Amino acid sequence: MTLAGSIKTVLYDNWNLSGDLTKTKIRFAETGWFDAKYAGHPQIVVSDLAEPIGRYFGGSYQTYPRFLVNLWLQIPRGAKGTAEAQDIEDMRYEVLRVIQSKKNDVATFEPLVPLDVGTPRHELDREPRRLRYEITLLGAHTKP
């Protein structure tokens, strides 16, 4: 399993939303982009970023792997998007809740931390309209 796959598994296993946002109704993936095959379902895609962040720490240069969590929700044609806007916000908060509560349980990282609370990258200028949040995660040091 890849590290992105480990993050996806932790999200799936600890997901607590209900209704249309239960884990059985969301497509969780570890690579790729929005999948039109699942356009009627919310989607969460976890991807490795090619370049880690490098920082000097304690006199030595350390690299820390980064990951992107993209949350997708398509607004049905003719809908105003009000309910979908709330749903994508609920998804964003749930991803942050799971990562923060399970930050020491993901793959080899101790901890895995969000670098932001989600950047909106909504695609409202095309049909069908899509809401998207992008959350960047940073793997700190590896477990001994």
Q: List pLDDT tens digits, range 55-102.
A: 666 777 677 788 899 999 999 888 888 899 999 999 999 999 999 998
Quote the pLDDT of residue 18. Answer: 95
How much is the pLDDT for 29? 92
Average pLDDT over residues 34-57: 82
C-alpha span between 127 and 4 (Å, rounded): 30
Q: What is the mean pLDDT of residues 37-66?
A: 79
Please give the structure tokens belonging to residue 96: 């942050």
Q: Which among 19, 72, 74 has a CA at the least distance from the CA of 46? A: 72
Buried b (16+ CB within 10 A) or exposed e, 27-53: bbbbeeebeeeeeeebbbbbbbeeeee
Number of domains in the chain: 1
- pLDDT at position 139: 80
Residue 48 or residue 44, greater confidence: 44
Range of the domain at 73: 3-142
Q: Contact, 92 vs 118, CB < 8 A?
A: yes
H-run or E-run covering 109:
strand 109-114
Radius of gyration of the chain, Cα coordinates, nearest whole angstrom: 16
For residue 41, the domain's CATH number is 3.30.70
- What is the value of pTM for the model shown? 0.86
